[in-house]
Amino acid sequence: MNMASPKELRDSEEHEWVKVEGNIVRVGITDFAQSELGDIVFVELPEVGTELKVNEPFGSVESVKTVSELYAPVSGKVVAVNEELNDSPELVNESPYEKAWMIELEANDLSEVDHLLSSEGYDKLISE
């Protein structure tokens, strides 16, 4: 059974979660996404300083089954990358919302967050 999405987060239809702190947006993949992918063996993330546009691929997650692209839920500049995932990609399976955040973006336009799903909306999407 998947855990419900944490209420304070917003989610994209591509299964990224977003946590907003000021104009910094932290991004990772949802518990549902990691459970669908299976054991994560490699995470490819962008360099700090990379400019991303909303819905543009910014990296990928590789599991024993498949490779899945990651999509930027908002536009902005990458200001932090979770380097721990280089050595410990399994954190994505173990702690998708806490330890396995992937990137932090300095958002260009925080109103883009309003287009993302609420936790309830996301839970409904994945239960269909």
Give the pLDDT score at 2: 54
How far is residue 17's CA from residue 116's CA, in Å, rounded to a whole number? 9
| Mean pLDDT in residue range 96-120 | 96
The torsion angles phi and psi of 75, rounded to 5 degrees, stand at: -85, 150
Question: Once rounded to an integer, what is the mean pLDDT over residues 65-81?
Answer: 97
Return the pLDDT at 104: 98
Mean pLDDT of the chain: 95
SS3 of 89, please? Answer: coil
pLDDT at residue 125 in the model = 95
6-10, 28-32, 46-50, 94-98: range with lowest mean pLDDT: 6-10
